[in-house]
Chain A
Amino acid sequence: MASIHMSNEEFFTRLAELFDSRRNKGHGTVFLTQKRLTYAFDDETDFPPSAEKVSDDPLWDLHPPHPVPVLIRATDGASKEKRRDRKKDDKVKLSTIVQPDALDSFYVRYAEICKTGMSALKKRDRSKRKKVAKKKKAGGVDDGNKA
């Protein structure tokens, strides 16, 4: 089961590619999802607990015995039918499992990639005057921000 998911490193590079392809297209969507990993992909960890354990303690998930990995997914949100019409490559689906001890370092890099990837969002406005100028000549001001 674990082979479906990619390593954190690969996920980052593929996610950056996903953001890039969105940028090249000019429009589009990137979905990022995170949730607790709820199926046992490793026999060593007893998670999720068996049905008997759950019936004994319905709130078992509030205090798991070990920290639980987090599943991170990314997709371009294209439905398969839509893609089929365009005869382009398949829907992009990325997923990775972040182990609890790697969580903090993962999110540092994750934030970096998201920051660079989400370039179409509004840049910080210095003043209202500049806001007007920005709209008139968007290119020049953007260069100024980067420098």
Chain B
Amino acid sequence: MPQFETSQEWLTQSSLLLQARPTTTRITSKYNVLSPTSAKITKKRSKRPLKTNPESTTTTTTTATPPEAPLAAFILKTYDPVSGACLKYKTDKAAEVGRLVGCLGRLGRSMAALPEMGEDQTPDHKDDVEDRPEQKNTPASAVVSTPPQTQGSGGKKKKKGRK
């Protein structure tokens, strides 16, 4: 089960999977907050010092003391039960949530068999759109692609301005 480093990579692979199997593929996003007493966290905390200690004991005392392991995580999983393909992306940053849900929206569009409005149009996308009889034959790199992007970045800018 591949887990991607970047959300962009996850998005492109997921959209390809969705194009191949639009009816069976589902996207599950999991927002998980572990309780501080959770076994996962206590294990991680006990493991970490063991890994770092042999190298140098003096530095690890400063670095390993704040055991603020990522308590919360947002995990996106694209899964197609027919082919068994499963694509994962995991983050613990709040700043990414808005963009990731935007990604879910774009993938939702291809689930709904609506024309893509993404900015990264690969030739595959275009072929797919043109194959569909009902949809307009305008190339998928349509002008509509810009609004979500500007919205996202606009929001960030506003936040920066306030501070």
Contacts and interface: CB of A to CB of B under 8 A. Distances in A.
Interface stretch (A6-14, A31-39, A80-88): A31-39
Central interface residue in B19, B93, B94, by most chain A CB within 10 Å: B94
A120 B93 contact: no
A70 B66 contact: no
B29 A32 contact: yes
Contact of A35 (B25, B32, B74, B91): B25
A31 B30 contact: yes
Interface string B21-32: 111111111111
Contact of B112 (A28, A61, A67): A67
Nearest to A63: B132
Given A22-B33, A124-B94, A107 B22 contact: no
A29 B63 CA distance: 29
Given A107-B102, A117-B31, A27 B23 contact: no
A63 B114 CA distance: 10
A114 B111 contact: no
| Interface of A (DSSP majority class) | mixed
B29 A120 contact: no
B97 A115 contact: yes
Contact of B104 (A64, A68, A107, A119): A107
Nearest to B76: A32
Central interface residue in B23, B114, B128, by most chain A CB within 10 Å: B23
Interface string B94-123: 110110011011011101111000000000
Nearest to A27: B35
Contacts of A22: 31, 33
A34 B27 contact: yes
A83 to B, nearest CB: 16
Contacts of B38: 27
Interface string A3-27: 0000000000000000100100011
A68 B113 CA distance: 6
B15 to A, nearest CB: 13
Nearest to A29: B32
Interface of A: 19, 22, 26-36, 38, 48, 61-70, 77, 98, 100, 103-104, 106-108, 110-111, 114-115, 117-124, 132, 135
Interface of B: 19, 21-36, 38, 66, 68, 70-74, 91-95, 97-98, 101-102, 104-105, 107-109, 111-114, 128, 131-134, 151
8 contacts: A33-B29, A62-B22, A107-B104, A114-B98, A118-B31, A120-B33, A124-B93, A124-B94
